[in-house]
């Protein structure tokens, strides 16, 4: 609770400073050297890559999160100044990044700003129901990123990514109708690339259909749906929240109950942004004295694309990172 109160005070102080500084015009607006208008501010790397593909060199695009993911990000005075001059503000939504994007929008003072949460605007038939989390009574769950009804990790599903690209195209055309044809063509070209990525990925991963995969946290549902993977469960209830011991025991029991053919190999997906300690504990449980009859357990690095090196963010970033995940998993396809 203290952390939340502190964040509120910081936000209020930042907005007070913004009013004073912007009013006297003494600070740059953060868009220097970028094309546009339109000027597009986005919350995190996948949306940045989508927007770069649709806008090309016509729009200026800035990504808020990079090395820090949307679960932990705290916006600052420079972000608020950028938003003051933006035409479009794209967030993911579904509670992933709302904790800071909603506050930024509410306090922007930018009457012409078009703010859209792209995942919120996807049709419900493209969304997966989120899973309720069994909270450990001994753990502090005072987190700002509790997930809602739907799984927010939509960018990892190809149909959902295409839906987000279509929305970006629509909103760019709305604020910059003079270049509507350009946005239309760019979006069509990129959607074709995403469809090829989808087909190539399904072909490479078809040998994993019966291999059980345990994920680091509940981020791979849309990815698994896109490529026909078998996700047995997840270790962490949410990113940054350690699992209770009984959760690991439950996953071990699930593996023990699998048909013998599926016990030959179990993959545990770990994320490069977080320690592997809990995954290693689970691996030891599966292969220890009370082993679940599993022949082999492999820890596999699968990036959920919530963060990225800012210097590497570009139009190619999303496809490149998805291909890396696909190729990593494909090594274990039968």
- Residue 243: which of 210, 268, 207 has the closest Cα? 268
Encode pLDDT of 259-285 as tens digits: 988 999 999 999 998 889 999 999 998
pTM: 0.86
Distance in angstroms (rounded) separating the CA atoms of residues 132 and 92: 20
Tokens of 299: 């820890």
Confidence (pLDDT) at 321: 98
pLDDT tens string 35-91 = 989 999 999 999 999 999 999 999 999 999 999 989 889 999 999 999 999 999 999
Q: Phi/psi zone of residue 317: left (φ > 0), alpha (ψ -120 to 50 degrees), beta?
A: alpha
131-184 pLDDT per residue, tens:
654 443 333 333 344 557 899 999 999 999 999 999 999 999 999 999 999 999
CA distances from 77 to 26, 69, 112, 145, 271 (A): 13, 18, 20, 22, 30
Q: What DSSP state is assigned to residue 274?
A: S
Residue spans of the domains in the chain: they are 8-131+146-201, 207-330
CATH 3.40.50.1980 fits 207-330, yes or no: yes
Query: Which SS3 state, helix, strand or coil, does residue 249 take?
Result: helix
pLDDT band for position 208 (50/70/90)? very high
> Do 8-131+146-201 and 207-330 have matching folds?
yes
Neighbours of 297 (CB within 10 A): 21
Of 7-11, 121-125, 128-132, 206-210, which gets the smallest average pLDDT?
A: 7-11
Enumerate the β-bridge partners of residue 277: none
Instruction: Name the CATH topology of 8-131+146-201.
Output: Rossmann fold (3.40.50)
Distances (CA, A) of 143 to 84, 146, 149, 303: 28, 6, 16, 22
Q: Measured between alpha carbons, how far is 98 from 91 in angstroms, rounded to an integer?
A: 8
């Amino acid at each position: 609770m203290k952390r939340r109160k502190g964040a509120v005070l910081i936000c209020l102080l930042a907005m007070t400073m913004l009013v004073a500084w912007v009013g006297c015009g003494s600070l740059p607006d953060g868009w220097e050297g970028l094309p546009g208008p339109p000027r597009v501010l986005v919350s995190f790397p996948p949306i940045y890559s989508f927007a770069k593909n649709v806008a090309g060199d016509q729009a200026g695009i800035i990504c808020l999160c990079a090395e820090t993911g949307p679960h932990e990000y705290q916006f600052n005075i420079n972000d608020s100044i950028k938003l003051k001059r933006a035409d479009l503000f794209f967030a993911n939504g579904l509670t992933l990044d709302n904790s800071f994007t909603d506050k930024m929008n509410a306090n922007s003072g930018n009457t012409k700003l078009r703010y859209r949460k792209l995942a919120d605007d996807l049709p419900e038939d493209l969304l997966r129901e989120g899973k309720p989390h069994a909270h450990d009574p001994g753990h502090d769950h005072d987190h700002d990123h509790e997930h809602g009804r739907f799984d927010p990790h939509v960018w990892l599903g190809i149909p959902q990514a295409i839906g987000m690209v279509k929305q970006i195209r629509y909103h760019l055309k709305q604020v910059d109708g003079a270049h509507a044809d350009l946005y239309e063509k760019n979006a069509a070209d990129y959607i074709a690339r995403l469809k090829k990525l989808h087909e190539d990925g399904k072909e490479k991963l078809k040998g994993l259909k019966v291999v059980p995969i345990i994920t680091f946290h509940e981020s791979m549902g849309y990815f698994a749906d896109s490529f026909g993977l078998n996700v047995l469960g997840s270790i962490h209830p949410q990113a940054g929240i350690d699992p209770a011991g009984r959760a690991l025991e439950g996953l071990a029991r699930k593996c023990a109950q699998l048909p013998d053919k599926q016990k030959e190999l179990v993959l545990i997906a770990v994320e490069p942004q977080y320690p592997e300690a809990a995954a290693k504990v689970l691996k030891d449980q599966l292969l220890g004295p009370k082993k679940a009859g599993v022949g082999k357990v492999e820890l596999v690095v699968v990036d959920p694309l919530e963060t990225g090196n800012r210097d590497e963010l570009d139009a190619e970033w999303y496809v490149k990172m998805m291909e890396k995940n696909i190729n990593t998993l494909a090594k274990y396809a039968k």
